[in-house]
Amino acid sequence: MDLTTRYLGFTLPHPLMLGASPLVDDLGAVRRAEDLGAAAVVMHSLFEEQITHDRQVGEQVARHEESFAEAIYFTPHRGEFELGPDEYLEQLRRIKDAVKIPVIASLNGTTNSGWLEYARLIDQAGADALELNAYRVATDPNESGDSIEKTTADMLSSVKARTQLPVAVKLSPYHTSLAHFARRLESARADGLVLFNRFYQPDIDLDELEVAHRLELSTSADILLRLRWLAILSAQLNLSFAVSGGVHSVEDIVKVVMTGADGVQLVSEILKHGLHRFAELRSGLEHWLESHGYHSLDQARRSMNLANCPDPKVYERTSYMRTLNSWPPPGPQSG
């Protein structure tokens, strides 16, 4: 069964890749991911905050050489990140030496400023591609959606000016006009989009009266939001698409490919069940396609997107009305 896919200009034997996560900080895990059949790996992000923090420490050290130790140990955020910027580049070089599959580095931040210089350093360190993650919670009532989108598009242009690497933008679903924004990124020379960032919502710890952050892994229910937007965007934009969020089973993979994913990133499933899931899901995908009469993955690709599905209105407002009306009328047991 031919599972070949094209993603960000690479021809991959199949679409399953290890998404951005701390797993990639462990060289042994990256090797195992390749051995067990991952088609590519995405590195943990290098965060803008890490880079600016590192620079501030450097400046403090230069200004107060005699109190070097204090400058280092009393700067906020120390120890919050696994790898500092230099270690990140070193880890990238090590991964590139260790595996043959494409290695996609990840930059994560919100401002169009000097930290994006790391795109060049990442390119020089040997990455095959770059993910630009603009994870942001828009809290400022004085900042418009247009201004936020412009900043992300400008960040992308800055990255593209610094490197020839293919760049995918990892997006949030919470934009007022996602299709328009995606087109704006296409015009700013994005090579691909990753749909979507997962937003980790804060909770309230009632015993401690604190805001609690808990990292919940995804479930297959998370793919529904992705299916809709893959279907809408893949039909209208000339970009590579990867899905991130909620892919756990063979059926999930088939659905995201049918709506438009060229690449399928897995994190929660691998954290829960281990790297051998790459091999299982790949053979499961072959089996599913064979038993449903497909000759290749390409035949299934985008077959259910906005351009190709039998009733495109299901992705739009009509589906909302139909869904509300589909709830069964109250039966005798409902009272």
Ligand X SMILES: Cc1cc2nc3c(=O)[nH]c(=O)nc-3n(C[C@H](O)[C@H](O)[C@H](O)COP(=O)(O)O)c2cc1C
Q: Rounded to an integer, what is the distance from CA 309 to the centroid of its chain?
A: 26
Closest CA to 229 of 255, 250, 268: 255
Member of 5, 106, 112, 158 binding ligand X (CB under 6 A): 106
> 48-63 and 85-98 helices cross at what angle (nearest 10)?
130
Polymer length in residues for the chain? 335
Q: Residue 20 or residue 101: which is nearer to ligand X going by CB? A: 20
Q: Residue 101 or residue 247: which is nearer to ligand X going by CB? A: 247
The 3-state DSSP class for residue 174 equals coil
* 103-108 and 41-47 beta bridge pairing: parallel
Strands (DSSP E) found in 34-149: 41-47, 103-108, 129-133
Cβ atoms of 169 and 108 within 8 Å: the answer is: no
What DSSP line would sit under 111-123, residue for residue? --SGGGGHHHHHH
**Least Cβ distance, residue 317 to ligand X (angstroms):** 27
Sign of the torsion formed by the C-alpha atoms of 8, 224, 154 and 83: negative
Which residues inside 81-100 make contact with ligand X, applying CB under 6 A?
none
Residue 76 to residue 53: CA distance in whole angstroms: 8
At 256, give phi and psi (nearest 5°). Answer: -70, -35
Q: Residue 22 or residue 58: which is nearer to ligand X going by CB? A: 22
Member of 110, 244, 259, 305 binding ligand X (CB under 6 A): 244
**Least Cβ distance, residue 88 to ligand X (angstroms):** 11
**Least Cβ distance, residue 241 to ligand X (angstroms):** 14
Q: Return all residues near 43 (Cβ < 8 A) that are at least 6 apart.
A: 20, 24, 88, 91, 92, 95, 103, 104, 105, 106, 127
At 204, give phi and psi (nearest 5°). Answer: -110, 125
Give the interface segment with ligand X, choosing from 53-61, 72-80, 85-93, 216-224 (CB under 6 A). 216-224
**Is residue 267 a contact residue for ligand X (CB under 6 A)?**
yes
Residue span 295-314 as binding mask against ligand X, x where in contact by CB under 6 A, dash where not: --------------------
**Owner of token pair 């994190």:** 267
Member of 15, 85, 102, 246 binding ligand X (CB under 6 A): 246
**Is residue 158 a contact residue for ligand X (CB under 6 A)?**
no
Closest CA to 190 of 174, 171, 175: 171
Member of 14, 15, 19, 149 binding ligand X (CB under 6 A): 19
Which residues inside 108-137 make contact with ligand X, applying CB under 6 A?
108, 133
**Least Cβ distance, residue 179 to ligand X (angstroms):** 21
Which residues inside 164-193 make contact with ligand X, applying CB under 6 A?
170
Number of shown-chain residues binding ligand X (CB under 6 A): 24
CA distances from 308 to 5, 232, 235, 236, 331 (A): 19, 11, 8, 11, 38
Q: Residue 280 or residue 298: which is nearer to ligand X going by CB? A: 280
**Least Cβ distance, residue 107 to ligand X (angstroms):** 9
Q: Residue 71 or residue 226: which is nearer to ligand X going by CB? A: 226
Q: Residue 277 or residue 306: which is nearer to ligand X going by CB? A: 277
The encoded tokens of residue 143 equal 């900042």
**Is residue 198 a contact residue for ligand X (CB under 6 A)?**
yes
Member of 112, 158, 218, 240 binding ligand X (CB under 6 A): 218
**Least Cβ distance, residue 267 to ligand X (angstroms):** 3
Task: Name the residues that contact ligand X, by CB under 6 A.
Answer: 19-22, 44-45, 106, 108, 133, 170, 197-198, 215, 217-218, 222, 244-247, 266-269
